[in-house]
Structure 1
Amino acid sequence: MRVPDRSEAAARAGLGVVFAVAVAFQAYQVAGSWGAGHWPFGAAVAASVCALALARGRDPLWTAVAGLVVAALAVLVTRLVHLPAEPSPAASLGLAVLAGSAVRALPVRTACAVAAAGAAVVAGGLLAAPGSAVPVLSGLLWLAALASGAGLRLLAARRRAVAERIRRAERLELARELHDVVAHHVTSIVLQAQAAQLVTARHPERTAGSLAGIEAAGAEALAATRHVVGLLRDTGTFTDTETDTGTDAGTDAAVAAEGRERLGELVEGFEIGGRRARLRLDAEPSGWPPQVSGTVYRVVREALTNVSRHAPHAREVTVGVTQHERTVTVEVEDDAPHPPARRHRLTGSGLTGYGLVGMRERVEALGGTLTTGPRPGSGWSVRATIPTGGPR
């Protein structure tokens, strides 16, 4: 059984005091207007309903049902023996608390059934004592309880929707980050292992260097995987409900700090297996915001990874990064032929690979655009334009 915290216990104690004062005041008023023998029944009914209201946390449905049954029986008894009208003000207060809790917490159909049953009890009180103001007060309290419960229910639904949006943003960011780690580093290891086989067959003395390269790539993959695991374990990493562009700010800041060196390492690492790669960097990455630097780095990395995986016949790749007044343009071009399968998988907006989907999401989250498509004659081009937030 859940143990209530201090604030909940204090609220319950305060509500209990309010109930006790209401029951005592009602008994005093009935005794003064109807006589000393008329207050015990109403006080017992009100105390019973209020006690159920204090215990509603255990089972909102059955406490509400029990309170309504007690109130309905009280209406019948007062009609038969000519006692003060029910539900009394104190009992109506307890019923209002039960109704508000039921509407707030129960499923929609069940909450509507409780609301309808309460309306029937209030209507019965009006019919049993048509000239009394007590049933009218009960009706007003019942309507206020329904409105309060519905408002709290809508507020809770909105909070759940916000939490789900945050969780979705987390999942999308982690999916992109995990794909970046697996696709790039594992592809690098596979390519270096293939190159090591060729080197071992032709130049056995160079095997040690090839194995060292594979070891370095594996160490990078392990470090990147640890970073993703850190994102998964850090519950405070994701806080923005509208965008997830800053969720890996630590990595983006590291990329921004190193800038040219990191892009150069990407291009150098790609030159395995006889490919040629050129980096044309007409920009200064250290002056970009961290999220821009991180996105540029990831676009280049994903584009090179796709060339390695989907364009094995590419012999030369050009990576160009050009800075304009308020934007930076990244373009990665290869010279591979256009096999039908590749054209089908990568053209236009019909991207089927998770890597390019994630790349597009990253770029568009910063207000940029991403286009991919075949070059005239041969080759493929990936072009991203990303705002840097520079002066107009």
Structure 2
Amino acid sequence: MRVLEWRAGVAADLVIGPVIGAVSAAVLAFYGYRISASWGGAYWVSGCAAGAAVCALALVRRRSRLWTAVAGLGVAAAAIVVARVAHLPTEPGPGVTLGLSVLVASAVRVLPPRRACAVAGGGLMVVAGAFAAASQPAVATMSAVGWAGAVAAGLWPRLLAARRRAVEERVRRSERMELARELHDVVAHHVTCVVLQAQTARLLAHKQPDRLATSLADIEAAGSDALAATRRVVGLLRDPARGLPALDGLDELVRRFGGHGPAVRLRLPEDEDTSLWPPEVATTVYRIVQESLTNVSRHAPQARSVTVTVMRARGSITVEVADDAPPAPARRRRGHGGYGLVGMRERVEALGGTLRAGPRPGAGWSVVAVLPVPPREHP
């Protein structure tokens, strides 16, 4: 990126540099002609020399924007003092004002904030000195207008660049958060399945060794599922249109969970084509169910059953995952210390929905998410 910016700057200089040089030469020639016509003699020499020096600094400003600006301000200040002491034409003249405007604008646009403010402040001091020493207010006014235009010309693209960087950072952060949620949902769920089945295998090795082979086969299947899910995440990163889980995968998700955990009852909307739901909504519903079942495995091992309910109402979709585990102090901390509940809430709120998670009256725990969707259109 920096190489591209450097090349763009060099290309811009190849165009702007000759323009600045031509304009500077024309301004200095006109200034020298007017001073010769009105003052006579060699009064034009000092003003043109100062203007040529500042304009030359403006042409080489990319070598060091700070020090070329400082040198230009020094030349302008010296020109004001010399003109005042030697009774020469009022400075800064048009050449100095032009070159100084380019230097100040360039510094304000590129330099770090403190240095940019220092250069802009130095330009303001030159303007103040011009008004203090001016025998012709029009010259000082021209210097003030040049300074104000230079600050505006440097500040505007600087603000635009800062805004662009802020937008890019928000986009990158959003992408990182989406990747983090996707990886957490996939890895946490499948690794939890592997861990639970490995624990079961350890128990079977001592009590029912004849069933150990079946348990190891289940662990192998869970590992294969985890690998396939990871590949889907990679495919999603390569192509966002691929790898998104759909609601038709809920049956398989529930079946896998019921194979090593409490029984799960799945309720889906009747007479409803869920494939027509917005992909982001279907994916969020799937991930909420997946993460909630993972939390049941982790935090509610005594649960005997889990109910997953997905309902469609006019303008919204509600998904609820509820278990019947007995109350326990540890359940109060369910969802804390990790990113599961945080990730679910971020997914839901990103779609403008709401999420509630907490103990049920009597016993059990529930997670309820409400997602807004466009109302169904009836023919």
Q: Indicate which of 68, 75, 88 corresponds to 1:83.
A: 88
Structure 2 counterpart of 1:263: 250
Which amino acid is 1:99 matched to?
V
Which amino acid is 1:174 matched to?
L
On the 8 A contact 1:191/1:272 being kept in 2, the answer is no
On the 8 A contact 1:369/1:385 being kept in 2, the answer is yes
Structure 1 counterpart of 2:273: 284
Which amino acid is 2:92 matched to?
P
On the 8 A contact 2:348/2:369 being kept in 1, the answer is yes
Structure 2 counterpart of 1:383: 368
On the 8 A contact 2:235/2:242 being kept in 1, the answer is no
Structure 1 counterpart of 2:102: 97
Normalised to the residue count of structure 2, the TM-score between the two structures is: 0.87
On the 8 A contact 1:313/1:337 being kept in 2, the answer is yes
Which amino acid is 2:216 matched to?
L
Q: Indicate which of 331, 345, 356 corresponds to 1:371.
A: 356
On the 8 A contact 1:249/1:290 being kept in 2, the answer is no
Structure 2 counterpart of 1:240: none
The answer to whether 1:71 aligns with 2:60 is no
The 5-angstrom pairing of residues 1-392 of structure 1 reads: 2-3=6-7, 4-35=9-40, 37-131=42-136, 133-201=138-206, 204=209, 206-226=211-231, 228=233, 250-252=242-244, 255-256=245-246, 259-260=247-248, 262-273=249-260, 275-282=262-269, 283-346=272-335, 353-391=338-376
Which amino acid is 2:202 matched to?
Q
Alpha-carbon offset, residue 215 of structure 1:
2.8
In 2, Cα distance between equivalents of 1:383 and 1:132: 73
User: Which 10-residue stretch deviates more, 115-124 or 105-114?
Assistant: 105-114
In 2, Cα distance between equivalents of 1:365 and 1:179: 17
On the 8 A contact 1:249/1:291 being kept in 2, the answer is no
In 1, Cα distance between equivalents of 2:221 and 2:319: 27
Q: Which runs of 5+ in 2 are unaligned?
A: none
Secondary structure in structure 1 of the residue aligned to 2:374: coil
Alpha-carbon offset, residue 205 of structure 1:
5.2
* 1:267-321 Cα shifts (integer Å, max 9, x gaps): 0111233521221222432121100110010000000000001111112112122
RMSD, matched Cα = 2.7
Secondary structure in structure 1 of the residue aligned to 2:63: coil
On the 8 A contact 1:251/1:294 being kept in 2, the answer is no
Which amino acid is 1:323 matched to?
R
Secondary structure in structure 1 of the residue aligned to 2:175: helix
Distance verdict in 2 for CA 1:45–1:274, change over 3 Å: closer
Normalised to the residue count of structure 1, the TM-score between the two structures is: 0.84
On the 8 A contact 2:194/2:219 being kept in 1, the answer is yes
Distance verdict in 2 for CA 1:294–1:8, change over 3 Å: farther
Secondary structure in structure 1 of the residue aligned to 2:259: coil
| Matched residues, number | 370
In 2, Cα distance between equivalents of 1:317 and 1:281: 14
Distance verdict in 2 for CA 1:326–1:165, change over 3 Å: same
On the 8 A contact 1:92/1:138 being kept in 2, the answer is yes
Secondary structure in structure 1 of the residue aligned to 2:268: strand
Q: Which runs of 5+ in 1 are unaligned?
A: 238-247
* 1:322-360 Cα shifts (integer Å, max 9, x gaps): 2223322211111111111212445xxxx5541111101
* 1:149-198 Cα shifts (integer Å, max 9, x gaps): 33333333322322232232223222212211221111111112223334
